[in-house]
Amino acid sequence: MLQSYTRSHPPSVAVRPKLIPVPEVICSINEEPENIRENIRGNIKRGFPQVAPYESQDKVIALAAGGATLEETFPDLMEKRKNGMPLVTVNGSHKYCMDRGLVPSAMVMLDSREFNSRFIYPLSKECKYFISSQCHPSAFDNLEGYKLWIWHCAGDTDNEDLLKEQYGNNYFPIMGGSTVTLRAIHLFRMLGFSKFEVYGFDSCIIGQHHAYEQKENDDEQVIDVIVADKEFRCTAAHYHQAKEFVQMIGKTGEYYDLAVHGDGLISHIIKHPDSLIKKEEVN
């Protein structure tokens, strides 16, 4: 079951059992495979506790992604956080929330590149950090003494041998797509949470590509896409994430409820899950 809304208590929107595949966009990993392998090799030997399945919990958690609508929906997020809703940030949304007085309950990071270790700042003793084993070792270095758990990406067959050598069969890889938001949903589902209110999960350009400056995305290719006659401008990465979201919901959507705030591409896909197409393919 999925929901898309801007109110506090929206009606449910049914998801069709089968989703039509959307066109392919080729996106490659943004780090050399040998660097990712070396990151994993070193990080898993450091003795950090792993993410593992946890009993079901009835709490709704807020998940803050970095899309432009995070700014306009932030007052609602702030109110719910102040009323006790747990808040999970990913990448740059962590600093965005911290700078505005919201200390997250947890922060998730996936990217392997060294310069993305900046995403863990500002550090907070109140926050739990969930850092992928493929992240650069500097992220782990700088989190010594903080609440830190390591997690692993499902589907990374090239590096399964490292995990098996270190953990045997006692590890629990996190499924999902190529972006941290998609992985975070499944990470917290493994931790027992099944109800999410998601902010800034646009997967499109609405004035800008993020709610904050992120220069590495400034020069990305832009694609025009259409969902149910509404046009969106996306980077190639946005479009690839949207396609993966459709596929992900088709496979695992029955196991969690998502309430996606804002008027971005993902919100419209939820309402029209079989209509994502590139503009040039419209006759």
pLDDT digits (tens, 9 = 90+) for 49-91: 999 999 999 999 999 999 999 999 999 999 999 999 999 999 9
How many Cα neighbours within 13 Å face the side chain of 35? 11
Can you tell me the distance from the alpha carbon of 150 to that of 114, in angstroms, rounded to the nearest whole number?
Answer: 17
β-strands 276-278, 222-227 pairing: antiparallel
Q: What is the per-residue pLDDT for 215?
A: 61
Asked whether residue 40 is assigned to any structural domain, the reply reads yes
Tell whether the model's pLDDT for residue 168 goes beyond 80.
Answer: yes
Tell whether the model's pLDDT for residue 210 goes beyond 80.
Answer: no
Asked whether residue 104 is assigned to any structural domain, the reply reads yes
Asked whether residue 25 is assigned to any structural domain, the reply reads no
How many Cα neighbours within 13 Å face the side chain of 53? 6
Whole-prediction pTM: 0.85
Per-residue pLDDT band for 225 (boundaries 50, 70, 90) equals confident
Which residues, other chains included, contact 11 with Cβ-Cβ below 8 Å and sequence gap of 6+? 3, 5
Asked whether residue 4 is assigned to any structural domain, the reply reads no
Tell whether the model's pLDDT for residue 265 goes beyond 50.
Answer: yes
**Coil vs helix vs strand at 168:** coil
Average pLDDT over residues 162-187: 95
Can you tell me the distance from the alpha carbon of 11 to that of 87, in angstroms, rounded to the nearest whole number?
Answer: 23
% of the chain with per-residue pLDDT over 90: 66
Identify the domain containing residue 200 by its residue range. 31-210+218-281
Tell whether the model's pLDDT for residue 252 goes beyond 60.
Answer: yes
Tell whether the model's pLDDT for residue 189 goes beyond 80.
Answer: yes
Asked whether residue 12 is assigned to any structural domain, the reply reads no
- Residue where the block lists tokens 């969902």: 227
Tell whether the model's pLDDT for residue 247 goes beyond 60.
Answer: yes
Poorest-pLDDT segment among 67-76, 147-156, 269-278: 269-278
Asked whether residue 9 is assigned to any structural domain, the reply reads no
Asked whether residue 26 is assigned to any structural domain, the reply reads no
Please tell me the total count of domains within the chain.
1
Q: What is the per-residue pLDDT for 125?
A: 97
Per-residue pLDDT band for 274 (boundaries 50, 70, 90) equals low
- Please provide the average confidence, as pLDDT, over all residues in the chain: 85
Question: What CATH number did the domain enclosing 173 receive?
Answer: 3.90.1480
Integer CA distances (angstroms), 137 to 117, 125, 181, in order? 9, 20, 21
Per-residue pLDDT band for 148 (boundaries 50, 70, 90) equals very high
**Coil vs helix vs strand at 103:** coil
